[in-house]
Structure 1
Amino acid sequence: MNQSPLLDYTNQLHQLMQLIGVSSFKALSQKAGVSERQIKRLRRGEVMQMQVETVLKLSSTLKMPLKDFLAAFSASQFQFIESSNKSAVLEQEYQRLQKQLAEQKVTLQQEFQQKSLQTLESWLIQWPTAAYAAQQKPEAALAVKLLPLLRPVEQLLREWGVEAIASVGVELPFDPQQHQLIKGTAQPGDLVKVTHIGYRQGEKLLYRARAIPVSSQNKN
Protein backbone atom coordinates (compact mmCIF):
# COMPACT_ATOMS: atom_id res chain seq x y z
CA MET A 1 0.00 0.00 0.00
CA ASN A 2 1.51 3.34 -1.10
CA GLN A 3 1.82 6.12 1.44
CA SER A 4 0.05 9.39 0.85
CA PRO A 5 2.37 12.19 -0.33
CA LEU A 6 0.95 14.31 2.48
CA LEU A 7 2.44 11.90 4.98
CA ASP A 8 5.86 11.52 3.37
CA TYR A 9 8.50 13.68 5.04
CA THR A 10 11.47 11.84 3.57
CA ASN A 11 12.69 14.79 1.51
CA GLN A 12 12.48 17.18 4.45
CA LEU A 13 14.40 14.74 6.61
CA HIS A 14 17.07 14.26 3.93
CA GLN A 15 17.60 18.00 3.75
CA LEU A 16 18.02 18.29 7.49
CA MET A 17 20.37 15.32 7.57
CA GLN A 18 22.60 16.94 4.95
CA LEU A 19 22.92 20.02 7.16
CA ILE A 20 24.43 17.92 9.97
CA GLY A 21 26.49 15.68 7.71
CA VAL A 22 24.47 12.48 8.11
CA SER A 23 24.14 10.47 4.91
CA SER A 24 21.76 7.62 5.77
CA PHE A 25 18.81 6.82 7.98
CA LYS A 26 20.89 4.14 9.69
CA ALA A 27 23.57 6.70 10.52
CA LEU A 28 20.88 9.06 11.86
CA SER A 29 19.48 6.23 13.96
CA GLN A 30 22.89 5.56 15.50
CA LYS A 31 23.72 9.24 16.03
CA ALA A 32 20.41 10.01 17.73
CA GLY A 33 20.29 6.76 19.70
CA VAL A 34 16.88 5.73 18.38
CA SER A 35 15.74 2.76 16.30
CA GLU A 36 15.41 2.85 12.52
CA ARG A 37 11.72 2.07 13.04
CA GLN A 38 11.34 5.45 14.76
CA ILE A 39 13.04 7.15 11.82
CA LYS A 40 10.49 5.50 9.53
CA ARG A 41 7.66 6.75 11.74
CA LEU A 42 9.07 10.27 11.54
CA ARG A 43 9.13 10.05 7.74
CA ARG A 44 5.46 9.00 7.81
CA GLY A 45 4.46 12.02 9.85
CA GLU A 46 3.76 10.10 13.07
CA VAL A 47 5.81 12.42 15.26
CA MET A 48 2.87 13.11 17.57
CA GLN A 49 2.55 9.39 18.35
CA MET A 50 6.24 8.92 19.16
CA GLN A 51 7.66 8.83 22.68
CA VAL A 52 8.78 12.13 24.12
CA GLU A 53 12.33 10.92 24.64
CA THR A 54 12.60 9.85 20.98
CA VAL A 55 11.25 13.19 19.73
CA LEU A 56 13.68 15.14 21.87
CA LYS A 57 16.63 13.01 20.77
CA LEU A 58 15.81 13.52 17.10
CA SER A 59 15.17 17.25 17.40
CA SER A 60 18.43 17.66 19.29
CA THR A 61 20.41 15.58 16.77
CA LEU A 62 18.93 17.54 13.85
CA LYS A 63 19.72 20.75 15.75
CA MET A 64 16.15 22.01 15.61
CA PRO A 65 14.14 23.72 18.36
CA LEU A 66 11.37 21.40 19.46
CA LYS A 67 8.58 23.65 18.22
CA ASP A 68 10.15 23.89 14.75
CA PHE A 69 10.72 20.14 14.69
CA LEU A 70 7.07 19.40 15.49
CA ALA A 71 5.91 21.87 12.88
CA ALA A 72 8.22 20.42 10.22
CA PHE A 73 7.08 16.83 10.68
CA SER A 74 3.41 17.19 11.59
CA ALA A 75 2.15 19.94 9.32
CA SER A 76 -0.51 17.66 7.83
CA GLN A 77 -2.12 17.41 11.24
CA PHE A 78 -2.57 21.17 11.35
CA GLN A 79 -3.45 21.92 7.70
CA PHE A 80 -7.04 22.83 8.59
CA ILE A 81 -6.10 24.96 11.56
CA GLU A 82 -5.93 28.68 10.97
CA SER A 83 -2.42 30.05 10.85
CA SER A 84 -2.99 32.19 13.92
CA ASN A 85 -3.82 29.08 15.94
CA LYS A 86 -0.90 26.94 14.82
CA SER A 87 1.56 28.62 17.15
CA ALA A 88 -0.73 28.13 20.14
CA VAL A 89 -1.24 24.44 19.33
CA LEU A 90 2.48 23.86 18.98
CA GLU A 91 3.18 25.78 22.17
CA GLN A 92 0.71 23.60 24.07
CA GLU A 93 2.32 20.45 22.69
CA TYR A 94 5.75 21.80 23.54
CA GLN A 95 4.72 22.50 27.12
CA ARG A 96 3.16 19.04 27.40
CA LEU A 97 6.33 17.37 26.16
CA GLN A 98 8.50 19.44 28.50
CA LYS A 99 6.32 18.52 31.47
CA GLN A 100 6.38 14.83 30.52
CA LEU A 101 10.16 14.92 30.15
CA ALA A 102 10.56 16.56 33.55
CA GLU A 103 8.33 13.90 35.14
CA GLN A 104 10.33 11.13 33.46
CA LYS A 105 13.56 12.68 34.73
CA VAL A 106 12.26 12.78 38.31
CA THR A 107 11.08 9.18 38.06
CA LEU A 108 14.45 8.00 36.74
CA GLN A 109 16.27 9.88 39.50
CA GLN A 110 14.06 8.33 42.16
CA GLU A 111 14.56 4.83 40.73
CA PHE A 112 18.33 5.33 40.63
CA GLN A 113 18.43 6.59 44.21
CA GLN A 114 16.23 3.72 45.42
CA LYS A 115 18.44 1.07 43.77
CA SER A 116 21.59 2.76 45.08
CA LEU A 117 20.26 2.92 48.64
CA GLN A 118 19.24 -0.74 48.47
CA THR A 119 22.76 -1.65 47.36
CA LEU A 120 24.26 0.44 50.17
CA GLU A 121 21.82 -0.76 52.84
CA SER A 122 24.32 -2.90 54.78
CA TRP A 123 26.97 -0.18 54.67
CA LEU A 124 24.55 2.57 55.68
CA ILE A 125 23.52 0.64 58.77
CA GLN A 126 26.86 -0.86 59.82
CA TRP A 127 29.40 1.84 58.99
CA PRO A 128 28.28 4.51 61.52
CA THR A 129 28.41 1.87 64.29
CA ALA A 130 31.94 0.85 63.26
CA ALA A 131 32.99 4.50 63.10
CA TYR A 132 31.55 5.15 66.56
CA ALA A 133 33.44 2.16 67.96
CA ALA A 134 36.70 3.38 66.42
CA GLN A 135 36.28 6.81 67.96
CA GLN A 136 35.87 5.27 71.43
CA LYS A 137 39.26 3.51 71.24
CA PRO A 138 42.46 5.59 71.46
CA GLU A 139 44.42 2.74 69.85
CA ALA A 140 42.29 3.04 66.71
CA ALA A 141 43.88 6.32 65.61
CA LEU A 142 44.40 5.07 62.05
CA ALA A 143 40.76 4.10 61.70
CA VAL A 144 39.70 7.54 62.92
CA LYS A 145 41.92 9.17 60.28
CA LEU A 146 40.09 7.22 57.60
CA LEU A 147 36.67 8.56 58.59
CA PRO A 148 36.95 11.82 56.55
CA LEU A 149 37.32 9.73 53.39
CA LEU A 150 33.61 8.94 53.63
CA ARG A 151 32.54 12.59 53.56
CA PRO A 152 31.79 12.58 49.81
CA VAL A 153 29.31 9.73 50.36
CA GLU A 154 27.75 11.61 53.27
CA GLN A 155 27.47 14.71 51.07
CA LEU A 156 25.75 12.68 48.35
CA LEU A 157 23.23 11.35 50.84
CA ARG A 158 22.47 14.91 51.97
CA GLU A 159 21.92 15.96 48.36
CA TRP A 160 19.44 13.10 47.99
CA GLY A 161 17.60 14.28 51.09
CA VAL A 162 18.60 11.22 53.14
CA GLU A 163 18.75 12.03 56.86
CA ALA A 164 19.94 9.92 59.78
CA ILE A 165 17.54 8.93 62.54
CA ALA A 166 19.46 9.63 65.76
CA SER A 167 23.18 8.87 66.25
CA VAL A 168 25.00 5.82 67.54
CA GLY A 169 25.34 5.92 71.33
CA VAL A 170 22.54 8.43 71.87
CA GLU A 171 19.96 7.68 74.57
CA LEU A 172 16.42 8.79 73.78
CA PRO A 173 12.74 7.89 74.39
CA PHE A 174 11.65 4.79 72.53
CA ASP A 175 9.44 5.40 69.50
CA PRO A 176 8.38 2.17 67.76
CA GLN A 177 7.73 4.12 64.57
CA GLN A 178 11.36 5.26 64.43
CA HIS A 179 13.26 2.66 66.48
CA GLN A 180 13.63 -1.11 66.34
CA LEU A 181 14.64 -3.04 69.45
CA ILE A 182 17.33 -5.65 68.77
CA LYS A 183 16.94 -7.15 72.24
CA GLY A 184 14.87 -6.70 75.38
CA THR A 185 11.53 -4.96 75.58
CA ALA A 186 10.48 -1.35 75.98
CA GLN A 187 7.33 0.71 76.05
CA PRO A 188 6.95 3.93 74.07
CA GLY A 189 8.77 6.64 75.99
CA ASP A 190 11.18 4.28 77.77
CA LEU A 191 14.83 5.23 77.47
CA VAL A 192 16.77 3.30 74.81
CA LYS A 193 20.31 3.56 73.44
CA VAL A 194 20.90 3.64 69.68
CA THR A 195 23.26 0.94 68.37
CA HIS A 196 22.71 1.43 64.62
CA ILE A 197 21.31 4.59 63.08
CA GLY A 198 18.26 4.60 60.83
CA TYR A 199 17.42 6.74 57.83
CA ARG A 200 14.56 8.63 56.26
CA GLN A 201 14.30 10.35 52.89
CA GLY A 202 11.88 13.22 53.12
CA GLU A 203 8.67 11.78 54.55
CA LYS A 204 9.66 8.22 53.62
CA LEU A 205 11.13 5.95 56.30
CA LEU A 206 13.99 3.89 54.85
CA TYR A 207 15.30 2.03 57.92
CA ARG A 208 14.40 2.33 61.59
CA ALA A 209 17.23 3.00 64.02
CA ARG A 210 18.21 -0.07 66.03
CA ALA A 211 18.35 0.28 69.78
CA ILE A 212 18.47 -1.53 73.12
CA PRO A 213 16.69 -0.61 76.37
CA VAL A 214 18.95 1.37 78.70
CA SER A 215 17.68 -0.75 81.59
CA SER A 216 18.77 -3.89 79.74
CA GLN A 217 22.21 -2.40 79.13
CA ASN A 218 22.64 -1.49 82.77
CA LYS A 219 21.88 -5.08 83.78
CA ASN A 220 24.77 -6.23 81.60
Structure 2
Amino acid sequence: MQQAEIANFEELSQVSGVSQWQLNRLLTGLLPKLSIIDILKLSKVLNISLEGLLLEFETAQPLREDWKITNQENFGDVNTDTESLQKEYKQLQQKLDQQQETSHKEFQSASIAALESWLLQWPTAAIIAKKKS
Protein backbone atom coordinates (compact mmCIF):
# COMPACT_ATOMS: atom_id res chain seq x y z
CA MET A 1 0.00 0.00 0.00
CA GLN A 2 2.96 2.30 0.59
CA GLN A 3 3.99 1.93 -3.08
CA ALA A 4 0.57 3.16 -4.18
CA GLU A 5 0.61 5.91 -1.52
CA ILE A 6 -2.50 4.58 0.17
CA ALA A 7 -2.65 5.31 3.88
CA ASN A 8 -5.18 2.76 5.13
CA PHE A 9 -7.69 0.12 4.14
CA GLU A 10 -10.56 2.60 4.07
CA GLU A 11 -8.72 4.64 1.44
CA LEU A 12 -7.86 1.44 -0.46
CA SER A 13 -11.53 0.55 -0.46
CA GLN A 14 -12.53 3.97 -1.79
CA VAL A 15 -9.85 4.14 -4.47
CA SER A 16 -10.29 0.58 -5.71
CA GLY A 17 -14.06 0.31 -5.40
CA VAL A 18 -13.67 -2.92 -3.43
CA SER A 19 -15.74 -3.03 -0.25
CA GLN A 20 -14.05 -3.09 3.14
CA TRP A 21 -15.83 -6.36 3.80
CA GLN A 22 -14.07 -7.89 0.78
CA LEU A 23 -10.74 -6.46 1.98
CA ASN A 24 -11.30 -8.08 5.38
CA ARG A 25 -11.93 -11.39 3.63
CA LEU A 26 -8.65 -10.96 1.77
CA LEU A 27 -6.76 -10.25 4.99
CA THR A 28 -8.25 -13.29 6.73
CA GLY A 29 -7.06 -15.66 4.03
CA LEU A 30 -10.27 -15.90 2.04
CA LEU A 31 -8.76 -14.81 -1.26
CA PRO A 32 -10.56 -17.62 -3.16
CA LYS A 33 -13.88 -16.11 -2.03
CA LEU A 34 -13.18 -12.75 -3.72
CA SER A 35 -14.40 -12.11 -7.23
CA ILE A 36 -11.74 -11.93 -9.92
CA ILE A 37 -12.95 -8.41 -10.71
CA ASP A 38 -12.16 -7.24 -7.16
CA ILE A 39 -8.75 -8.91 -7.27
CA LEU A 40 -7.98 -7.21 -10.58
CA LYS A 41 -9.08 -3.84 -9.18
CA LEU A 42 -6.81 -4.26 -6.16
CA SER A 43 -3.91 -5.30 -8.35
CA LYS A 44 -4.32 -2.23 -10.52
CA VAL A 45 -4.70 0.22 -7.63
CA LEU A 46 -1.78 -1.25 -5.68
CA ASN A 47 0.43 -1.16 -8.81
CA ILE A 48 1.48 -4.78 -8.48
CA SER A 49 1.06 -7.61 -10.91
CA LEU A 50 -1.84 -9.96 -10.48
CA GLU A 51 0.62 -12.77 -9.86
CA GLY A 52 2.33 -10.68 -7.16
CA LEU A 53 -0.98 -10.00 -5.44
CA LEU A 54 -1.90 -13.68 -5.55
CA LEU A 55 1.48 -14.67 -4.13
CA GLU A 56 1.17 -12.08 -1.36
CA PHE A 57 -2.18 -13.43 -0.17
CA GLU A 58 -1.87 -17.02 -1.33
CA THR A 59 -3.36 -19.73 0.85
CA ALA A 60 -2.13 -23.29 1.04
CA GLN A 61 -3.51 -24.00 -2.45
CA PRO A 62 -1.71 -22.70 -5.53
CA LEU A 63 -4.33 -20.24 -6.75
CA ARG A 64 -2.46 -19.25 -9.89
CA GLU A 65 -2.74 -22.78 -11.22
CA ASP A 66 -6.42 -23.06 -10.34
CA TRP A 67 -7.38 -19.81 -12.01
CA LYS A 68 -4.76 -19.84 -14.78
CA ILE A 69 -4.42 -16.10 -14.63
CA THR A 70 -1.20 -14.66 -15.96
CA ASN A 71 -1.93 -10.98 -16.65
CA GLN A 72 -4.41 -8.18 -16.28
CA GLU A 73 -5.88 -8.21 -19.78
CA ASN A 74 -9.21 -9.25 -18.27
CA PHE A 75 -9.45 -5.85 -16.60
CA GLY A 76 -9.88 -4.21 -20.00
CA ASP A 77 -12.88 -6.46 -20.58
CA VAL A 78 -14.47 -5.04 -17.43
CA ASN A 79 -14.14 -1.50 -18.80
CA THR A 80 -15.52 -2.60 -22.17
CA ASP A 81 -18.44 -4.35 -20.47
CA THR A 82 -19.14 -1.26 -18.38
CA GLU A 83 -19.11 0.97 -21.45
CA SER A 84 -21.42 -1.36 -23.37
CA LEU A 85 -23.81 -1.54 -20.41
CA GLN A 86 -23.85 2.26 -20.17
CA LYS A 87 -24.54 2.50 -23.90
CA GLU A 88 -27.34 -0.06 -23.65
CA TYR A 89 -28.78 1.81 -20.65
CA LYS A 90 -28.88 5.06 -22.64
CA GLN A 91 -30.56 3.32 -25.58
CA LEU A 92 -33.17 1.74 -23.32
CA GLN A 93 -33.75 5.07 -21.57
CA GLN A 94 -34.33 6.76 -24.95
CA LYS A 95 -36.71 3.98 -25.98
CA LEU A 96 -38.62 4.35 -22.70
CA ASP A 97 -38.85 8.12 -23.20
CA GLN A 98 -40.21 7.58 -26.72
CA GLN A 99 -42.77 5.06 -25.45
CA GLN A 100 -43.89 7.48 -22.74
CA GLU A 101 -44.27 10.26 -25.29
CA THR A 102 -46.23 7.98 -27.63
CA SER A 103 -48.49 6.83 -24.78
CA HIS A 104 -49.08 10.43 -23.72
CA LYS A 105 -50.01 11.44 -27.28
CA GLU A 106 -52.35 8.43 -27.66
CA PHE A 107 -54.06 9.24 -24.36
CA GLN A 108 -54.40 12.87 -25.35
CA SER A 109 -55.89 11.95 -28.74
CA ALA A 110 -58.35 9.49 -27.20
CA SER A 111 -59.39 12.05 -24.56
CA ILE A 112 -59.93 14.77 -27.16
CA ALA A 113 -61.95 12.40 -29.35
CA ALA A 114 -64.20 11.47 -26.41
CA LEU A 115 -64.66 15.11 -25.38
CA GLU A 116 -65.32 16.18 -28.96
CA SER A 117 -68.03 13.57 -29.34
CA TRP A 118 -69.62 14.59 -26.05
CA LEU A 119 -69.45 18.31 -26.88
CA LEU A 120 -71.01 17.75 -30.31
CA GLN A 121 -73.94 15.85 -28.75
CA TRP A 122 -74.42 18.24 -25.82
CA PRO A 123 -76.69 20.79 -27.58
CA THR A 124 -78.97 18.03 -28.88
CA ALA A 125 -79.15 16.42 -25.43
CA ALA A 126 -79.90 19.80 -23.83
CA ILE A 127 -82.76 20.50 -26.26
CA ILE A 128 -84.29 17.05 -25.66
CA ALA A 129 -83.98 17.53 -21.88
CA LYS A 130 -85.81 20.89 -22.08
CA LYS A 131 -88.62 19.36 -24.14
CA LYS A 132 -89.12 16.54 -21.63
CA SER A 133 -89.27 18.82 -18.61
Structure 1 residues 99 and 65: CA distance shift in structure 2, 3 A: closer
Q: List runs of 5+ in structure 1 lacking aligned partners.
A: 1-16, 79-85, 123-220
2:69 pairs with one of 93, 98, 116? 93
1:119 pairs with one of 83, 93, 96? 93
With normalisation by structure 1, the TM-score equals 0.36
Say if 1:70 and 1:90, in contact at 8 Å, map to a contact too: no
Structure 1 residues 37 and 21: CA distance shift in structure 2, 3 A: same
2:33 aligned with 1:33? no
Say if 2:37 and 2:75, in contact at 8 Å, map to a contact too: no
For residue 37 of structure 1, report the CA deviation from its aligned partner.
Answer: 0.9
2:34 aligned with 1:50? yes
With normalisation by structure 2, the TM-score equals 0.55
For residue 66 of structure 1, report the CA deviation from its aligned partner.
Answer: 0.9
The RMSD of aligned alpha carbons is 3.3
Structure 1 residues 100 and 90: CA distance shift in structure 2, 3 A: farther
Structure 1 residues 29 and 109: CA distance shift in structure 2, 3 A: closer
Say if 1:42 and 1:73, in contact at 8 Å, map to a contact too: yes
Whole-Å separation in 2 of the counterparts to 1:90 and 1:24: 30
Higher share in strand: 1
Whole-Å separation in 2 of the counterparts to 1:65 and 1:28: 16
For residue 58 of structure 1, report the CA deviation from its aligned partner.
Answer: 0.8
Match runs of 1:208-219 below 5 Å? none
1:170-193: CA deviation from partner (whole Å, max 9, x where unpaired): xxxxxxxxxxxxxxxxxxxxxxxx
Match runs of 1:79-90 below 5 Å? 89=65
The answer for the alignment partner of 1:10 in structure 2 is none
The answer for the alignment partner of 1:215 in structure 2 is none
Higher share in helix: 2
Structure 1 residues 61 and 114: CA distance shift in structure 2, 3 A: closer
Counterpart AA for 2:29 = G
Whole-Å separation in 2 of the counterparts to 1:105 and 1:18: 26
Question: Percent of aligned pairs with the same residue?
Answer: 23
Say if 2:3 and 2:47, in contact at 8 Å, map to a contact too: no
For residue 100 of structure 1, report the CA deviation from its aligned partner.
Answer: 8.5
